[in-house]
Structure 1
């Protein structure tokens, strides 16, 4: 039935979005190596408008322990420095007038464990979101059945939703395993 396929497609799209969001959140958790994504979310006051740091500067990682930020306009270098300090990412900017350098300190064992806990929290949110999508899809399928849909078709669709749910939860678990390995690697 067309309605059942629509519900399944919507469920798949929603689960995919939940996983993508989790990947983005996990990329923000630093693993002791310099990553340009660490600075995502930092807003710089640019002509009175909060603007993402990546839109007013070029950000590079010249080596595993350093980020370099080169503003497109030299006059906003102090605004960028202030935004980094105010962002509470735990890094101290070094400003040489043209370039801001951020040295990434090596992580302690305790800090690594905290980051793993934070990553596990993100994975749990992903699991909850995937299950919520499953629940919504099953409710839609029940409505289709109540409106005269085939009971067998609905049962098969519910099984497909469950397989999809299991698949996306397994993908989330794999993301966690990869991130944990990345964080704990010295």
Structure 2
């Protein structure tokens, strides 16, 4: 369940609030010599100012593929410029509609994390039920209550992270 919180927070970082951030590109895959490779393994990132990001590929032959992957990324909505050695990305100013779209994306990611937590809970409950002959019913009931408490706490942590990200996105 703790992993679900970490994954949700990492997913939240991939949604921009109008500022350039290398975390936006963490999960972006680039077709590199026939296999999808994370962009962070193919290039270095620099942030000259708040809205600009410079991507310098380690291998200049991958420049076109990196640019193609950035343009194709559905959550970025940026237009990279390529000068032959680096890719420069200027993050656009966010409109109110775009901010609301980002909030919807973040809420969807939070719901995916909640579903993952519930799946862990369901599997743990199944495992507890299998122990019914070996362990007393009181122990199983106690473990079930602890599992429910842990689930509730984890979902609340995800919701708190969602509220913080939502406030960040809607901040003008």
Check whether TM > 0.5.
yes
**TM-score interval, normalised by the smaller of the two chains:** 0.7 to 0.9
Partners of 1:48 and 1:129 in 2: CA distance: 31
Higher helix proportion: 1
TM-score of the aligned structures, taking structure 1 as reference length: 0.82
Give the match for residue 53 of structure 1: 39
Q: Structure 1 residues 153 and 55 mapped into 2: Cα distance closer, same or farther (>3 Å)?
A: same
Aligned length: 171
Q: For residues 82-126 of structure 1, give each alpha carbon's deviation from its aligned partner in whole angstroms, at most 9, with x where no partner exists.
A: 332233432111222332110001111111111112211111222
Structure 1 range deviating more: 116-125 or 41-50: 41-50
Give the match for residue 108 of structure 2: 121
Shift of 1:133: 1.8
Alignment of 1:17 with 2:3, yes or no, is yes
Aligned match for 2:30, one of 28, 31, 44: 44
Q: Structure 1 residues 82 and 121 mapped into 2: Cα distance closer, same or farther (>3 Å)?
A: closer
Shift of 1:49: 4.1
Partners of 1:50 and 1:141 in 2: CA distance: 39
Aligned match for 1:90, one of 62, 77, 86: 77
SS at match of 1:59: strand
Partners of 2:29 and 2:109 in 1: CA distance: 23
Q: What runs of 5+ residues in structure 1 fail to find an aligned partner? A: 1-14
Q: What runs of 5+ residues in structure 2 fail to find an aligned partner? A: none
Mark the structure with the bigger radius of gyration.
1
